[in-house]
């Protein structure tokens, strides 16, 4: 979910187009997925946040560089 959120954010900046509604949907979806992983005890908070940040950083860096 971090990768998808970063994708929308970087594309919004690169295309110079306000993708406000897409960003709102992505933030809400990310929150739902992250909270469901915690609620089901599938992951710890550290794992959820590290996965989010790793995905966001990875795709953000890739899209910015290319």
Distance CA(19)–CA(9), nearest Å, equals 8
Digit-coded pLDDT (tens) for 18-57: 999 999 999 999 999 999 999 999 999 999 999 999 999 9
Residue 17 zone, left/alpha/beta (φ > 0; ψ -120 to 50; rest): beta
The token pair at 61 is 């860096």
Are 3 and 29 within 8 A, CB to CB? no
How much is the pTM?
A: 0.83
Residue 3 zone, left/alpha/beta (φ > 0; ψ -120 to 50; rest): alpha
pLDDT recorded at residue 36: 96
- Residue 66 reports pLDDT greater than 90: no
Distance CA(26)–CA(54), nearest Å, equals 17
């Amino acid at each position: 979910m971090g990768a998808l959120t970063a994708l929308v954010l970087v594309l919004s900046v690169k295309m110079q187009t306000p993708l406000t509604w897409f960003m709102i949907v992505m933030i809400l979806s990310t929150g739902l997925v992250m909270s469901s992983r915690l609620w089901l005890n599938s992951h710890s908070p550290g794992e959820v946040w590290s996965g989010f940040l790793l995905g966001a950083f990875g795709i953000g860096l890739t899209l910015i560089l290319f």
